[in-house]
Chains A and B, each alone.
Chain A
């Protein structure tokens, strides 16, 4: 960890709203996409000359396409209920990181160009022209929103700032001012099939390596198949699962679960990525193009079910949007949810005694659980509302004996984002990531001191990478963070079947 050139916030027992300090994060701005990152997504290579008119035209287009955008720009009453709900405001004190402050950056332009009062009495309602300064402000602060939706939980009208952020990013992309990190990744998916740009031979290598490792450790031949036609299950998982720590231990866990349950499964090199960054840039078309790869892979391999690995925003696109974007999936087995989460699969197997876990294998650790923002507030697991909180905890409790939850105002649908979601998991935003993690770090530190918690389990590739990176800034070990299926992997009792 290099010495940071910014101050690391001090952790406290409780997260409290700081006093407003204007401009503390106005310098934060991610790298702008180069033409080669923009073109594969059908966006102009660089800022177009008529950006002003084009941005307003795009805004008008989106106002006609997204009810959320239209209604939310009109409905805010400036009640302030959301002002202390965003982890980025709590960590930076910058009022433009208050959800309503963030919305207002776009709302002031909306009012100027699209409302009667804003046209004739701009000062009255804080309406403003779209200037180059405003544009830069958009670029900066709409890349300080992880689209975690915590604000939407508390707003009396359900105003979801992430909808505004996505629209803003789409407008920025449309005038040639995209973000390098997201767009480069999406281009890689189009070209190679995953965010990390791992080609098929590399995947084959990695998976063979995993098979050898597991055989060495357990003496059981667990398979990690790729592109196997006729398998029952297509597993789509974030590409970080193929090599990053602690992600890969989760992937090892999925394989063991399928093995023990006797479910035939396969990964796909064509759809070797669960995450869908099209979501982050608010682009229906790009999100759809990425999703279609999963449909194509499922058809090509002739599977009966699609299961998603541990990933937060990925599960949002899968659970909430896949059917919309790439459906209907009438060629899959309707007996199973389409798509299904790996935790739903494992949970069900545990309930039916189809696999056995021995929690004493994890007796050396005390575990807490981080609800990933997009799973908590934008999806469901199982068949009852809130299953997304219950199922992961039940699986963890089956795999470990010592489990403690963090403070109630920081879990379930009030959970705090890890600080790196929504397309911000890039080194050029490290200050934002470190500061945005404050509320979660506070809550974690509390259970460490109070209950001796040693590990925090997560079910999202971004959360895992972000915490691994950020924990050391706060004097905590990067290996504290574990995959839920890593706990399962440790505890599962493998009986060499065949």
Chain B
């Protein structure tokens, strides 16, 4: 079992990293030939950073659009962020300088209860998907499965956290062991197996699914462009050749 999970860990991380890197390279290499920020838009770079910050941290546009989706979506992502920080204690070594930042009462407490916030958010999102006719119409099987997958990860985590505690020292030994290629025994817990197994699945599908919204938002031209087309000429490489063509014509 431990070997199986060790392998799964490497494979899923590999696919996640490689897949994401390829996607990022693709997004990066495709130009935005025209200025299309959704206005009113910031007229400076720092303004754009601030806009993006509000979008990524507070889901500003979603807040304007629908309060229910915003509340559930934000609860889920906030819970996810807190739970993520809490999980760092399994991979960060205790003599690393950020250790005190993770291993303190507040972070661990918040991270533990965050899982419940996450669950409420996820169930709310699932409920909307099922009961709001417009959202139901646009949902494909993958949209439900994605939610169910994350709900199962969350619930198995909650079980270990609140109901069926596992050997966390053993788990840390296993995780740290993975990083230094010194394989340790994985503590036995059905919830842990479910939890880790599904996280691996999630990591594998990340670069091939709508989870790409996470990097995607940073590449969204309507959000990341500065509103200064009159002040600064913006031309994509492929469009530059058109300029050259017409210059040729007028000189020839």
* A76–B210 touching, CB < 8 Å: yes
* A124–B222 touching, CB < 8 Å: no
Residue of B with least CB distance to A84: B134
Partner of B30, one of A65, A100, A156: A65
A116 to B22, CA, bound (A): 13
* A324–B38 touching, CB < 8 Å: no
Stretch of A209-217, A374-382, A396-404, A481-489 lying at the B interface? A374-382
User: Which B residues between 192 and 226 are near A, CB-CB below 8 angstroms?
Assistant: 205, 208-210, 212-213, 216-217, 219-223
B73 on interface, CB distance cutoff 8 Å: yes
Q: Which residues of A contact B143 (CB under 8 A)?
A: 78
* B34–A20 touching, CB < 8 Å: no
A65 to B237, CA, bound (A): 10
B91 on interface, CB distance cutoff 8 Å: no
Also in contact, A152 and B38, with CB within 8 A (given A75-B210, A157-B217)? yes
Partner of A65, one of B33, B61, B132, B230: B33
B2 on interface, CB distance cutoff 8 Å: no
Q: Which residues of A contact B137 (CB under 8 A)?
A: 20, 95, 98, 101
Q: Which residues of B contact A320 (CB under 8 A)?
A: 34-36, 229
* A324–B235 touching, CB < 8 Å: yes
B128 on interface, CB distance cutoff 8 Å: yes
Number of interface residues of B (CB under 8 A): 64
Q: Which residues of B contact A20 (CB under 8 A)?
A: 133-134, 137
B242 on interface, CB distance cutoff 8 Å: yes
A83 on interface, CB distance cutoff 8 Å: yes
Q: Which residues of B contact A159 (CB under 8 A)?
A: 220, 222
Partner of B234, one of A66, A75, A84, A324: A324
A327 to B239, CA, bound (A): 12
A323 on interface, CB distance cutoff 8 Å: yes
A473 on interface, CB distance cutoff 8 Å: no
Also in contact, A68 and B216, with CB within 8 A (given A98-B138, A319-B230, A327-B233)? no
Q: Which residues of B contact A273 (CB under 8 A)?
A: none
* A378–B36 touching, CB < 8 Å: yes
User: Which A residues between 76 and 99 are near B, CB-CB below 8 angstroms?
Assistant: 76-85, 95, 98
A338 on interface, CB distance cutoff 8 Å: yes
* A83–B134 touching, CB < 8 Å: yes
A337 to B43, CA, bound (A): 15
* B210–A149 touching, CB < 8 Å: no
Q: Which residues of A contact B217 (CB under 8 A)?
A: 75, 156-158
* A323–B221 touching, CB < 8 Å: no
* B220–A75 touching, CB < 8 Å: yes
* B229–A328 touching, CB < 8 Å: no
A123 on interface, CB distance cutoff 8 Å: yes
A184 on interface, CB distance cutoff 8 Å: no
* A385–B39 touching, CB < 8 Å: yes
B252 on interface, CB distance cutoff 8 Å: no
B165 on interface, CB distance cutoff 8 Å: no
* A98–B223 touching, CB < 8 Å: no
Partner of A117, one of B41, B62, B208: B208
Stretch of A48-56, A225-233, A284-292, A353-361 lying at the B interface? A284-292
Partner of B134, one of A65, A80, A149: A80
A72 on interface, CB distance cutoff 8 Å: yes
Residue of B with least CB distance to A375: B39
* A78–B40 touching, CB < 8 Å: no
Residue of A with least CB distance to B235: A324
* B38–A377 touching, CB < 8 Å: yes
User: Which A residues between 322 and 379 are near B, CB-CB below 8 angstroms?
Assistant: 323-324, 327-328, 337-339, 376-379
Q: Which residues of A contact B69 (CB under 8 A)?
A: 79-81
- Sorting the interface of chain A by its residue count into under 10, 10 to 19, 20 to 34 or 35 or more gives 35 or more
A9 on interface, CB distance cutoff 8 Å: no
Q: CB-CB contacts of A91-120 with B at 8 A, as 1s and 0s?
A: 000010010110010000000000111000
B43, B132, B221, B246, most chain A CB atoms within 10 A: B221
* A74–B61 touching, CB < 8 Å: no
* A156–B38 touching, CB < 8 Å: no
A74 to B208, CA, bound (A): 9
From residue B249, how far is it (CB to closest CB) to chain A in Å? 11
Q: Which residues of A contact B230 (CB under 8 A)?
A: 319, 323, 337-339
* A70–B27 touching, CB < 8 Å: yes
A83 to B66, CA, bound (A): 10
A17 on interface, CB distance cutoff 8 Å: yes
Partner of B55, one of A67, A156, A321, A414: A156
* A80–B66 touching, CB < 8 Å: yes
Also in contact, A157 and B34, with CB within 8 A (given A78-B138, A78-B143, A117-B209)? no
* B141–A123 touching, CB < 8 Å: yes
Q: Which residues of B contact A284 (CB under 8 A)?
A: 33-34, 239, 242
Residue of A with least CB distance to B43: A385
B46 on interface, CB distance cutoff 8 Å: no
* A98–B134 touching, CB < 8 Å: yes
Q: Which residues of A contact B216 (CB under 8 A)?
A: 71-72, 74-75, 157
A81 to B129, CA, bound (A): 12
From residue A188, how far is it (CB to closest CB) to chain B in Å? 22
Q: Which residues of B contact A98 (CB under 8 A)?
A: 134, 137-138
* A71–B219 touching, CB < 8 Å: yes
Q: CB-CB contacts of A156-187 with B at 8 A, as 1s and 0s?
A: 11111001000000000000000000000000
A115 to B219, CA, bound (A): 19
A66, A123, A152, A157, most chain B CB atoms within 10 A: A157
A98 to B55, CA, bound (A): 22
A74 to B220, CA, bound (A): 11
A-B contact pairs, 30 of them (CB 8 A): A17-B134, A66-B30, A67-B221, A71-B221, A74-B23, A75-B213, A75-B216, A78-B140, A83-B134, A84-B66, A95-B138, A98-B138, A117-B208, A117-B209, A124-B142, A126-B142, A149-B222, A155-B61, A156-B55, A156-B62, A156-B73, A157-B217, A160-B36, A321-B35, A323-B232, A328-B233, A378-B36, A383-B43, A388-B39, A413-B40
Q: Known pairs A83-B134, A154-B62, A380-B39; list 13 more (Cβ under 8 Å).
A: A81-B69, A124-B141, A155-B61, A157-B216, A158-B38, A158-B221, A320-B34, A321-B229, A324-B33, A324-B229, A324-B234, A385-B42, A385-B43
6 A-B pairs with least C-beta separation: A75-B216, A154-B65, A158-B222, A80-B135, A385-B40, A126-B140
Binding site for A on B (CB under 8 A): 23, 26-27, 30-36, 38-43, 55, 59, 61-62, 64-66, 69, 73, 128-129, 132-135, 137-143, 145, 205, 208-210, 212-213, 216-217, 219-223, 227, 229-230, 232-236, 238-239, 242, 246
Binding site for B on A (CB under 8 A): 17, 19-20, 63-68, 70-72, 74-85, 95, 98, 100-101, 104, 115-117, 123-126, 149, 152-160, 163, 284-285, 288, 292, 319-321, 323-324, 327-328, 337-339, 376-380, 383-386, 388-389, 413-414
